[in-house]
Amino acid sequence: MSANALVCPTRDRRHQRGLSLIEVLVAVAIMAFALTAISRATGLLAGTNDAVRDRSLALLSAQNRIVELQIDTALPAPGTARAPCPQGAHAFTCETQTVALTGGARRVTVQVYRPSQPHPRLATLQGVVEPQ
């Protein structure tokens, strides 16, 4: 046996097992990037879900306001009125614009906002209230 073989044994690269430090660092960097992207997407989805919920509840508030006016025996006076129109724990403000139509009917437009933020409008709904 030569002295060179004792100091630096040769290995067949095909039988070497394990990963090099560079390969591990690249894998960790890829995983960090992927987890960051997933975290950001989850945050955006949660924000979108809240916006959809708020708009749906605002639309329910607008529908309720129009139905209240339709079942009331007195026609609403032409003009603009603001009133709170909460849905459960969510506070909203309904702005009702009433316009007189021919034949005594009224066109009612209800716009729903957050009480502290008049913009953006969360929902708008129109309906007709006819004399009973």
For residue 30, give the CATH number of its domain.
3.30.1300.30
How many degrees, rounded to 5, is the angle at CA 124 between CA 73 and CA 47? 135
In a domain, 43, yes or no: yes
Q: Domains in the chain: how many in total?
A: 1
In a domain, 9, yes or no: no
- pLDDT of 2 reads 55
Domain range holding 61? 20-129
Specify whether the backbone of 77 is left (phi greater than 0), alpha (psi in -120 to 50) or beta: beta
In a domain, 82, yes or no: yes
In a domain, 11, yes or no: no
In a domain, 63, yes or no: yes
- pLDDT of 112 reads 97
Listing DSSP states for 63-82 in one string gives HHHHHHHHHSSSPPPSEEEE
Alpha carbon 74 to its chain's center? 38
In a domain, 105, yes or no: yes
pLDDT per residue, tens digit, the chain (132 aa), is 555 555 555 555 566 677 788 989 999 999 999 999 999 888 877 778 888 999 999 999 999 999 999 999 999 999 999 999 999 899 999 999 999 999 899 999 999 999 988 788 999 999 999 988
